[in-house]
Structure 1
């Protein structure tokens, strides 16, 4: 933990300039996945809210890590940074206006490093590093404001991204057996406020990288479960993805989703006709709460995911072209609903029904006696076979309505009354 102890001391001492300023000092020692997560999820960074001092400290730390790995600065004016300003949207369906420097605007910072192997094409590997600060909009915490450290969301993804950068750089240093593609590593800001950093980069690239050959997004990869379930989205964005993912699978229980559109930064690249893959180990009860802390992460699982992606990248080096394909946008089909059960769905569940991964306090599901692990198989008159059918069933109800819910629990069916 030498690296963690070094930077923890810097953070606690308040030496802001060393992290947030120039990266010209002596490179720091090698870091582990644990080191990177402990730093990024430290209370000292106060939740890394977009545009905050904690986020700027995190950006400085990431720039030093990229420099230590040997990545070239790929930001603006020879730096590792790409700054952008915007005014937070008041209308959730409105467009963000970049370049707004008036009162109330926010200045955010992407962090970019390039592994230049002299290749003809460039691959983007990205992860967002911002989080929710002390809570507020987006938080599921009910109570006094508290630091949301975001260890899984998304210090985990950034840590795996940096490990991949290190391993690819070490491979490149071996010469003939090294990678032939260039790799652009981007730590995005503004994801929690609407994929702002990735959207800005795709429309304002900081260099002549050409159109990315493909993009890998790492968002919430720190909670690999005992059954090794790993969700990968975007598998329909190239006809080769399924074959490559399965041939290199070291033993994960893969849950593959075709859509290139989702609530994370790969969407910004998909909308520019870039093949994408988004790696994700699932929701949990600490999501967007102050309890998402570093000691709860599965670091061995994170290393396994990193090694898997490294093997995939090696396979793709020999692919002359990674063709792009449009996918069905499931998000456009999501029905609107006015009520909720008050549960956290298990997005990695691929059986029949909708499995509950968490139950919120004082909500309809808890009042009806539903439990974590229950599988909703019927809601009212509607049979529930998957997440989409569950949402369609839910959309039929209004506040004040009541109905029955049937769940599968420990091999038997349980019926309960639900009041919305």
Structure 2
């Protein structure tokens, strides 16, 4: 009787046009994450700062809430050192940590889902696009509180959907991306699970400023022969622009260089990019929700495939 009732509810939702996976992405939670991470109190989340540590604790607390297993080298943490290279500063060597949570489904292979959680601080160690903003807080709501919010919502969805997927899921919040993809490079050089066991890697960086005229960039589409099949028959209100190359200015590049298939979701540049004006009230939360619903469909379809092959696109 219970199974029959579940089937009826499933059919009702599907017939009404509501995909079940979409019900678990909540704008309220996305706003909560972004407004916390992009608050002035976090002073722009500069690598090595006490404020970035607050962001790390926030992410770690959420991972614990979702009952993910710690898969760092020190609990959920993977410490490393990062160097500021763009400008000369007294504290050029900075302590950094990746935050790593594992959803263990007892599978041989694992999908990595990542987003960087650091940003530019006060813009005084390089990277700001507006010299007049140096000394001002660069909140980085789109870059990349939006990606971290997506990371946390997808982790919450898969840890609470009462389904044992065919693949494990490894969630990584990378540090020191703004200093040169250092956190993701460190993880791929010092992986906390074998690289040969990675199905593929999904990266989210700046997914909060969707513009229907420009669409959503999906970079890395050519890095596996399986991606066309995975995207086949996916319905979404989001306009998708596929790019074959696995390289790009974000953390998927570190995995691509290790011959791992990748997809990088990105809503594109805007006037507030790397400025002190990238704030939480400018995020398109409805579109962010739709992008995450799309990503869940892609993830689900990828779990119907055998281990992904890799194609070098350069």
| CA shift digits 1:330-374 (9 cap, x unpaired) | xxxxxxxxxxxxxxxxxxxxxxxxxxxxxxxxxxxxxxxxxxxxx
Query: Take 1:208 and 1:302, find their aligned partners in 2: how far apart are those partners?
Result: 32
Query: Take 2:166 and 2:153, find their aligned partners in 1: how far apart are those partners?
Result: 19
SS in 1 for 2:79: strand
Query: Take 2:167 and 2:256, find their aligned partners in 1: how far apart are those partners?
Result: 20
Structure 2 CA distance for partners of 1:91 and 1:319, relative to 1, 3 Å: same
TM-score, length-normalised on structure 2? 0.86
1:366 is aligned to none
2:140 is aligned to 150
Unaligned segments of structure 1, at least 5 residues: 1-29, 93-101, 329-420
In the alignment, is the contact (CA less than 8 A) between 1:123 and 1:214 conserved in 2?
Answer: yes
The within-5 A match list for 1:77-88 is 77=74, 79-88=75-84
Residue of structure 2 aligned with 1:221, choices 203, 207, 211: 207
Query: Take 2:142 and 2:192, find their aligned partners in 1: how far apart are those partners?
Result: 28
Structure 2 CA distance for partners of 1:317 and 1:196, relative to 1, 3 Å: same
Number of aligned residue pairs? 285
Determine if the alignment matches structure 1 residue 52 to structure 2 residue 49. Answer: yes
| CA shift digits 1:256-293 (9 cap, x unpaired) | 11111111000000000000000011110000001100
2:281 is aligned to 295
Q: Which has the higher contact order (CA 8 A, sep 6+)?
A: 2
Determine if the alignment matches structure 1 residue 181 to structure 2 residue 180. Answer: no
Query: Take 2:62 and 2:122, find their aligned partners in 1: how far apart are those partners?
Result: 26
1:165 is aligned to 155
Please, what is the CA RMSD of the aligned residues? 2.1
The within-5 A match list for 1:346-385 is none
In the alignment, is the contact (CA less than 8 A) between 2:43 and 2:122 conserved in 1?
Answer: yes
Query: Take 2:237 and 2:55, find their aligned partners in 1: how far apart are those partners?
Result: 34
The structure with the largest helix share of the pair is: 2
In the alignment, is the contact (CA less than 8 A) between 1:190 and 1:197 conserved in 2?
Answer: yes
In the alignment, is the contact (CA less than 8 A) between 1:75 and 1:206 conserved in 2?
Answer: yes
Q: Note the C-alpha offset of 1:241.
A: 1.2
In the alignment, is the contact (CA less than 8 A) between 2:246 and 2:252 conserved in 1?
Answer: yes
Unaligned segments of structure 2, at least 5 residues: 1-26
* Bigger Rg, which one: 1
Determine if the alignment matches structure 1 residue 116 to structure 2 residue 104. Answer: yes
In the alignment, is the contact (CA less than 8 A) between 2:237 and 2:290 conserved in 1?
Answer: no
Residue of structure 2 aligned with 1:198, choices 176, 184, 208: 184
Q: Note the C-alpha offset of 1:245.
A: 2.2
Query: Take 1:103 and 1:91, find their aligned partners in 2: how far apart are those partners?
Result: 11
Q: Note the C-alpha offset of 1:315.
A: 1.1
